[in-house]
């Protein structure tokens, strides 16, 4: 079973729309870490945010916000007033304490296309 599920394969919006990318995870650990990465059309992978399992505070960074809910095992990412430059593939990842290595497992990614 997938440990990180990004059910939205592709989302298409028009500029200035708000968009939420869903991430649902599965773990038995009480200590774990969640991440979001961005992969723009140029192909590089860029770290956006990390969150540990003991910190359920939502986070906002400019137009980006993240909603972490342990009750639903979700770590959703919202882009407010989307822009063409937000077009990218976004990956959610889970790093678990068990096993000791903290090598993350990635979801399959959501491709976001923002039309002008």
Q: From 14-22, 60-68, 72-80, 96-104, give the range in contact with another protein by CB under 8 A.
A: 96-104
* CA angle, residues 78, 79, 83, in degrees to nearest 5: 160
- Which of 25, 35, 66, 68 is the binder for another protein (CB under 8 A)? 35
When asked if residue 47 is in the footprint of another protein (CB under 8 A), the reply is yes
When asked if residue 38 is in the footprint of another protein (CB under 8 A), the reply is no
When asked if residue 61 is in the footprint of another protein (CB under 8 A), the reply is no
Residues found in the chain: 116
- Which of 68, 86, 95, 112 is the binder for another protein (CB under 8 A)? 95
When asked if residue 25 is in the footprint of another protein (CB under 8 A), the reply is no
Residues 6+ apart with CB under 8 A from 51: 33, 34, 35, 59, 66, 68, 75
Structure tokens at 115: 């039309």
When asked if residue 50 is in the footprint of another protein (CB under 8 A), the reply is yes
- What phi and psi, each to the nearest 5 degrees, are found at residue 69? -130, 110
């Amino acid at each position: 079973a997938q440990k990180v599920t990004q059910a939205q394969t592709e989302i298409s919006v028009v500029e200035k729309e708000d968009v939420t990318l869903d991430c649902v995870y599965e773990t038995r650990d009480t200590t774990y870490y969640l991440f979001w990465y961005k992969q723009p059309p140029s192909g590089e992978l860029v770290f956006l945010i990390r969150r540990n399992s003991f910190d359920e505070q939502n986070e906002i960074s400019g137009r980006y916000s993240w909603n972490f809910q342990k009750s639903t095992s979700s770590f959703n990412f919202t882009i407010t007033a989307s822009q063409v430059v937000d077009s990218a593939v976004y990956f959610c990842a889970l790093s678990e304490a068990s096993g000791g290595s903290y090598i993350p497992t990635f979801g399959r990614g959501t491709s976001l296309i923002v039309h002008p």
